[in-house]
Amino acid sequence: MSNIKIAVGSDHGGLEYKEKILEFLKNKGYETIDEGTYSKESCDYPEFARKVANLVAEKKADRGILICGSGIGMSIAANKVKGIRAALCSETTSARLSREHNNSNILCLGQRLIGETMAFEIVETWLNTEFAGGRHQHRIDIIE
Ligand code: RB5
């Protein structure tokens, strides 16, 4: 059981994983916010990236997860919001390092590029890894 709140969003290309990840998070006891999309109809990923990124930047959510076809558009768009450190991950080592070294606050996934098992392992790794701080904080301060 965790008390952190996670905002989740996708476009049509990430809808299936969004639904599955939301269910997975709820089953683990996380509080979630579903920012859409809610149908398979074609839509624009930057809209959903902005909604989730704003929630995280404004501290209305602790972290965010964004899914599109490749994860690339979501990561580009989310990183435009000040205070967001969105990491596009396709394996668990990157997910771990994005937390330990970069204190990533948004995870981006590409539904069309990674299998479901890997997606869930990435999510679990990313949620369960803490920021290491120290010299890494100084580098994040430089970005800010
Ligand atoms: C939608 O076709 C696709 O372009 C989008 O999901 C994403 O992959 C963009 O980066």
Question: 124 C-alpha vs ligand 1 centroid, how far in Å?
Answer: 24
pLDDT class of 67 with cuts at 50, 70, 90? very high
pLDDT in tens, 74-133: 999 999 999 999 999 999 999 999 999 999 999 999 999 999 999 999 999 999 999 999
Verify whether residue 12 is a known catalytic residue. Answer: no
Quote the pLDDT of residue 1.
47
Give me the pLDDT at residue 3, please.
84
Residue nearest to atom 5 of ligand 1 (CA): 69
For the chain, the structural domain boundaries read 5-143
List CB contacts of 79: < 8 A, sequence separation 6 or more: 85, 86
pLDDT digits (tens, 9 = 90+) for 45-64: 999 999 999 999 999 999 99
pLDDT computed for residue 91 by the predictor: 98
The active-site residue, picked from 43, 68, 89, 108, is 68
Residues with Cβ within 6 A of ligand 1?
Answer: 11, 13, 45, 68-70, 72-73
pLDDT tens track for 24-50: 999 999 999 999 999 999 999 999 999
Residue 101 annotated as catalytic = yes
The model's pTM is 0.98
101-139 burial, b at 16+ Cβ within 10 Å, e below that, comes to ebbbbbbbbbbeebeeebbeebbebbbebebeeeeeeee
How many whole angstroms separate alpha carbon 48 and alpha carbon 44?
8
Angle between helices 92-100 and 116-128 (to 10 degrees): 20
Closest C-alpha to ligand 1, atom 4: 69
- CATH annotation of 5-143: 3.40.1400.10
Structure tokens at 58: 């404004």
